[in-house]
Structure 1
């Protein structure tokens, strides 16, 4: 891979300063705040701490060791695993060499990883543990160009490394020896990269084909962070929990770019399974979660309250509805309740719940990625969190538009950050321009030319700007389709509103070229399971629960409530509860849980047709994927039902 010519990047970004890189910010932190804690990781229950001096040492030592293995400018190195300090150190060490870290999702199957390696000509990879190393070795069978796999966790590997596998500590030790023998090497590693070099190679979701590489340069990510900081989105010295997938742009922006620019304390939970427990101990000041995660947190509270009796249940049932009503009034521009009622609620209910969730110290709470349910949004704001929505994409470093702290709306996502321009084109598409916007896709000039026109990013999202300057996001332009009678609709718009129900985890709405809209529903197993327990509905599995008549009645009522709020002609007429959740391993959704509509249409075509034909059940041969990657099938009888109107 050849770097974009520097002069081209300079022409696009004349205000960028040549040495203004994430690495320079890291070195500055190490020089000015050497003993300040930069990163903490919980390991076997004990918090291991890294100050800025240790952080820089780990990065430069790894870089020196990796260079000795033959990595240099333009080489792409895969990084895969859950959030771990050494993986973050590796990503910055790779950037020191003007090479390119390319993070992959930890749960990606071998076939996806091998395809990514081939597209990006990857010769080396950094993997978290034995599980990921095994996947790398399996991928090497179809991509033999993979020369070296570097592992972090030594369990099961140390002293028994297969050919072409080395430990992170061994690479780092070799690098430390080089730095000792070559006095000028450390400073050279810190200063080699330019603001115009690629800091990280992210990837599109791949809903309609192979994911596209999205190179983000040092200048892009630092511009994005500084724009956000100028809007009060980030503050110096935030306490942040790094739990999002490392392959997602949000984790890179929060845990690396903003963390080095604004000296965050980055806290890493022991495991994904302990993240919610560790959250309470970390008590961050900054917290981002997807609408799905906020909804799951609310469901957890509601399940706990449902199992509580006596005074605690009575206090919750008295205070929370009043707080939500007050917040709703406040957002409508009316005075909300306060005074003694709010003070008592804060002492008895709101504060204790925030503390139990680990949100007691959160000052900046955000959500993005898809629409958030009104009740979920209001509940957390009523709890005392200034939860705000923002809008961004990987192509703009996830930082483009956000709600202000005192300018909240249930329907908009806010205004552009300073340094970001926004307009709507004649087709209703949102266009963005600024130094945080990427310069084009990785080795894909055709897609780059389509995405960037006269410097404006064609986001592919339909939107409108309200008279007060706030943006409303309507859905993907490409997803605007028509029923047989010409009625236009965006499936995502309806699906998001269906998912506002705590009992619906996923939904696919189908109706293009047909007389009616129908939906395939994936229930939320935890929420519906709790409902079933409270209502005496017996079940033994997800599949059985999804097909019980009373659960169908429950979902039908919630679809009917959504129908009542939709424009004429866009009601969901019929639906089926699927026997399983949509699964990225089955190719039905991406790793970021975006629907792959072509797969849904093809795989569940018989269900869709039966719904349109008015059938009340279907014998469906369900495809299943086993843990070893092999597939099979299972016959299922699925109920089909009318949704109706409320």
Structure 2
């Protein structure tokens, strides 16, 4: 049985015979050297690349690959930070009718080897010495790799492996190739069709090995252009590319949308300088996963505590006004003139400067995707005047199914479908909750070398997402959680761990957490503190500590986190309230297998790794002894031996109830 059906009414966009390299040719002809296509910060200076320069790099790198033996349907793997060379390599492989794919730059050796081997990549583009070493260290297990092309020569002088070749040297081979084969690049691009493979996008691998989603030019362009119909991008826009390019969300913006619309993509100098570089650019378009928005909100909340007394007063005066205006917006209520005046004053006193400090002064389109963003973070940014919207989708549908419309933002939902997209709820229960399925021209061709998984995921042209959700009366999609992650207590009460986790992560001192309780009597959580922010708090309160493990064990830190758990419990049904929690001795880490490379919890692995800690949370004990081995990115390991304290929460009524009234409620309310 399939029920509850929503479909975008907007007319879809006809992409004709366009392909991604075809759009690059079009943009280079249209804009030439008059418009900047890419910009990279190097040695503290922004370096411009025009559309003509963009095309030149792609063209000669493609011809260089061809001279090295790159053929139709060959795969090219790319690993490294976001750089112009990444997009040159990706577009070059596409132009030769090859299949590019990305590998997360923080992947460990075995993960790199798995993706390269699984994709049959014959060429690898590695950014620097670190990434090159990952491939060379595993080369005996990668016999199909014919060349490793590095882009940064620093530290590479003593390397003499015949597999290696420098990126500019490949471009020079391309120039020589063109002399003997004039027009070869253009001929190769012109033979492409929208149905050709444009990208192999590997999923995050929450339940096992990542799967390679095969996406065509048509998939990626349909998604980009249909999204732009309801969330417009403009040719003069600036976008900062700082999220990993293997992620479909970054591909959606830096490749598909940038080529289709023609806006400028900026690459930070280093991942660590991304926020500073974003401030310098002042982008018009920002798209980030929840972890970035959570980190930004935590940073603001912590930094205001370091400000002068006057600035702290202004912050505490204005933020409630911002929250109230955000609530008016969410509830579709028109604020009174008095509230508009109050918010205008607050904007001048606080929010204008705050947006500028975050780099959001010129922002027009702000969105989040990849996972659900907590309602508290949504309210925070809307209070600041950033019209943040939720995007929903999967890698298998080129990233996007739904998005909030500008005037219909509702943090409880993920919006409505983009044009040419249909969404249904399969096999709904009496309350209308079931599995979210979708259909779109952006639907992928299937999983590489995995017909069984493809058949299980695509049924009658519909993508089965594995997400539980329902459709509201006003045709907005609500995503509750992954079906397999929804939990039920022994009492029969159901709850979403992701919802509770998002509420907890709004705390500036919590960076990650895992909520537990399936088939148990009550709900508990394992919490990872934010080392920087909590450490700063400890220093200000004269709490001495040495390491992360030591800081997380301090009774003062437990008291600090307990206040945040109380805050969250007040918003939860009684059955879903946290009864106990433990502060872990380390953060969850992708290198330890606890998170995917897109920072999603791997709950099954966590349940196995922390089995003793979890059992202790459901026993009559106040501590658990831990001896745990941690593996670093370079393969080295260390053992942590410690005792973790388990904090038992008191009944909610025993905690002092904080004043819920806003400051203006102590006087005559504004009407």
Please tell me the TM-score bracket, short chain as reference: over 0.9
Write out aligned runs for 1:24-423 (5 A): 24-35=22-33, 36-158=35-157, 160-336=159-335, 338-423=339-424
Q: Secondary structure at the match of 2:222?
A: helix
Per the normalisation by structure 2, the TM-score is 0.91
Residue by residue over 1:316-361, the C-alpha shift from the partner in whole angstroms, topping out at 9 and shown as x without a partner, is 2222222222222332233335444333333332111211211111
Aligned counterpart, 1:488: 494
Aligned counterpart, 2:667: none
Q: CA distance change for structure 1 residues 208 and 375 in 2, over 3 Å: closer, same or farther?
A: closer
1:460 paired to 2:466:
yes
Per the normalisation by structure 1, the TM-score is 0.94
Q: CA distance change for structure 1 residues 532 and 287 in 2, over 3 Å: closer, same or farther?
A: same
Residue by residue over 1:277-323, the C-alpha shift from the partner in whole angstroms, topping out at 9 and shown as x without a partner, is 11111111001122221121122222222111143332222222222
Aligned counterpart, 1:497: 503
Q: Secondary structure at the match of 2:572?
A: coil
CA distance, structure 2, for counterparts of residue 558 and residue 314 of structure 1: 22
CA distance, structure 2, for counterparts of residue 19 and residue 330 of structure 1: 41
Aligned counterpart, 1:5: none
Q: CA distance change for structure 1 residues 570 and 382 in 2, over 3 Å: closer, same or farther?
A: closer
Residue by residue over 1:439-463, the C-alpha shift from the partner in whole angstroms, topping out at 9 and shown as x without a partner, is 2111211111111111111011111
Q: CA deviation at 1:133?
A: 0.6
Q: CA distance change for structure 1 residues 569 and 342 in 2, over 3 Å: closer, same or farther?
A: closer
- Aligned 8 A contact 2:390 2:411 in 1: no
CA distance, structure 2, for counterparts of residue 96 and residue 214 of structure 1: 19
Structure 2: segments with no counterpart, 5+ residues? 1-11, 429-433, 653-671
CA distance, structure 2, for counterparts of residue 624 and residue 480 of structure 1: 29
Deviates more, 1:112-121 or 1:158-167: 158-167
Deviates more, 1:204-213 or 1:103-112: 204-213
- Aligned 8 A contact 2:223 2:400 in 1: yes
Aligned counterpart, 1:555: 561
- Aligned 8 A contact 1:64 1:178 in 2: yes
CA distance, structure 1, for counterparts of residue 143 and residue 137 of structure 2: 10
Q: CA deviation at 1:270?
A: 0.5
Q: CA distance change for structure 1 residues 224 and 574 in 2, over 3 Å: closer, same or farther?
A: same
Residue by residue over 1:213-247, the C-alpha shift from the partner in whole angstroms, topping out at 9 and shown as x without a partner, is 01111000000011111113433332100111011
Residue by residue over 1:182-233, the C-alpha shift from the partner in whole angstroms, topping out at 9 and shown as x without a partner, is 2221311322322111111111111111110011110000000111111134
Q: Secondary structure at the match of 2:464?
A: strand
1:605 paired to 2:603:
no
CA distance, structure 2, for counterparts of residue 16 and residue 284 of structure 1: 28
Aligned counterpart, 1:570: 576
CA distance, structure 2, for counterparts of residue 487 and residue 347 of structure 1: 47
CA distance, structure 2, for counterparts of residue 47 and residue 66 of structure 1: 28
Aligned counterpart, 1:19: 17
Instruction: Flag the structure with more relative contact order, 1 or 2, with Cα contacts below 8 A and sequence separation at least 6.
Output: 2
Q: Secondary structure at the match of 1:189?
A: helix
- Aligned 8 A contact 1:286 1:363 in 2: yes
- Aligned 8 A contact 2:71 2:96 in 1: yes
1:518 paired to 2:517:
no
CA distance, structure 1, for counterparts of residue 129 and residue 435 of structure 2: 45
- Aligned 8 A contact 1:560 1:645 in 2: no
Q: Secondary structure at the match of 1:613?
A: coil
Deviates more, 1:270-279 or 1:520-529: 520-529
CA distance, structure 2, for counterparts of residue 627 and residue 104 of structure 1: 15
- Aligned 8 A contact 2:62 2:96 in 1: yes
CA distance, structure 1, for counterparts of residue 565 and residue 32 of structure 2: 56
Q: CA distance change for structure 1 residues 321 and 530 in 2, over 3 Å: closer, same or farther?
A: farther
